Structures are given as C-alpha cells and as structure tokens.
Amino acid sequence: MAGKENRKLKELFKEFGVQPATLALMGQMGFTVSTLMNMKDDEVDFIIKSMIEEYHLELLVGEQFGIKAAVRAKRRALDEEVEQQRLDIVARTGDRKISPDDPTSETLLLKDGLGTPRDALGLLGLTDQGSDSENIKVAKKKQKKRRSKEVGEDGQERPREHPFIVTEPGEPAKGKKNGLDYLFDLYEQCGKFLEEVQQIAKEKGEKCPTKVTNEVFRHAKLTGAGYINKPKMRDYVHCYALHCLDMEQSNALRKVYKERGENVGQWCQACYYPLVSLARGNEWDIDDLFNRNEKLRIWYVPTKLRQLCHIERIKHGE
C-alpha cells in the first residue's frame, strides 16, 4: 500500500519540479494524494513550513511553489472532470432534470464508484424528475455559499472573519463580537444538549450518542439555540481542549495574544502546540487525553491536531 501511495505522489508532482527527497519525506509524514486534495491552502502551507523548520529540509523556492501548484492543478482537473460529466448528462437529456427512464446518467456516474444514482445527481448539482424540494435545497446551499464570503476593499472575495475576539478570562467583549469566555460556554452548552439527546434516545429505546454529532446540533437548533452550529464548534475544539486540560496555560496564552493585539485566528493556531506537548507527555496518545477528561470525551479529536502529533512523533523518532 505504501508503494502505491508513493507512486501516486510521484505522479502528482512529476511535472512541478519537486525533488524525490521531498516526496519521500511527505510519504514518511503520512500524507497521500487523497489527503492533499482535501486540505485547504493554509494547511498545505503548514506542511511546507513543517518540512523546512521541523525537518530542516532545504526546500527550494521553486519546489514550494511546485507543491502548491500541483495540488491546485489536480483539484482543478477533478472539478473539470465533474463539470464535464454534468454537461454530458445535460447534453444527453436536453434538460437539467433527469428522466427516470434514462439509464445513461446512472452509468456515467456510477462507473467511477461515486455512490448511488441519487448521490451522484446531488454531487453534480442535478435533480431527479419533479424534485422541487431538491431545487430548494440547492438554492439554499448557493445562498449560504454567497453569504460565507464578503468583498474586501480591493474588490476580491475573502472568507468571513472569526466571530470572536481575543479576551482575557473574565473580560467582557467589546463591540459586536463575543469574547473567549462566551466561546467556551458554548461548548458547555453542547454538553447539556448532548445529555438531552441521550435522554430522548433512552425514552425511545434507541442507541444513545456518546459524542457531539449532527443530531446534537439539530436538537440545539430546534430548542432555539441556532447560534450553536457544527462549523463554528468544530473550528475551536482544540482551543477548548487546552482550556480543559491546562487552564493555566490557556489563560496565559489568551493574555499574551490580547496584549499583542493578535486576532482570534492567530490565537487559534497557537493553541495547537501546547496540546502537542501534552500528547508527547502522554506517549503521543491524544485520544486518551480527550477520553480521560470529563468535558472533552464528548468531542472528536480534530484531524489537524492528530497530524501535528504524528509529525512531531516522527521528528523525535518516537
């Protein structure tokens, strides 16, 4: 399996000037083509930074740009392939709605193992015959995507800013944004909503969830707590983890970043490294740290935190 993944990495970067030693290190760090395709640009930048600073790899400037260019090119190719499939279906049917008697749409999509016919239609942004509710869902998704970005002074679209500001413990937030005490309180509320969901499941004789899942977020919304949502809560789980595992260090970090005038994004990134140190002291078992803490055991360990622990473990040869 490792040899197959290494060949895929070589194929991905073969026209972008990436050296074999660089590819070998990326494979050693546990990265695959599939992982890279699902990473954000800033996460790819983090890999490059880690190889330079942590592994002391003399990465040429051209290689750095080559890595990012190769990932972007592959993503673009995949997007174009999906779009071409969509256009092929539209051309065959003469309409965006797919006839249930037309087998071409199923064979085109299922030959690559994309799932059921209905799943495939959803992936391509198409709907089946008479699916008004699906049309509404697609429209809502597009509207949500438009709202997720805002236009900067230079006219370029930018991701929305973090909805919080860095505050010290007990300090009230100023302006429209909330402080970090409020953020951590949201996680406490999620724990209570999970308990309510578990109680409802017990009364119905159903299996009780043990972690905060989509079911908990839906329950929170139904009870009027729409301000608690999956994207927001998943972004800061590691920050809450540091707050639970080492409150003294968490508070000190908040104070330092508040005094520096740093934003929440920078503070959020800084929260990873104390957790990696804690994991190292626990034989790199980050799951055990979460599971032994009463408040953290209901949360999944963030993928990025796992990756950082893996990188550091390799670096120290442990």
pLDDT tens string 121-130: 444 444 444 4
pLDDT digits (tens, 9 = 90+) for 238-257: 999 999 999 999 999 999 99
Confidence of residue 88 (pLDDT cuts 50, 70, 90): low
pLDDT at 31: 85
Percent of the chain at pLDDT exceeding 70: 74
Q: Which long-range contacts (CB under 8 A, 24 or more apart) does 180-188 make?
A: 180/239, 180/254, 180/264, 183/236, 183/239, 183/240, 184/240, 184/243, 186/227, 186/228, 186/232, 186/233, 187/233, 187/237, 187/240, 187/295, 187/299, 188/295
pLDDT digits (tens, 9 = 90+) for 120-171: 444 444 444 444 455 555 555 555 554 444 444 444 444 445 678 899 999 8
Domain residues of the chain, as ranges?
2-76, 180-315
pLDDT at 153: 40
Please tell me the pTM assigned to this model: 0.52
pLDDT at 33: 85
Name the fold adopted by 180-315.
Protein LEAFY (1.10.4180)
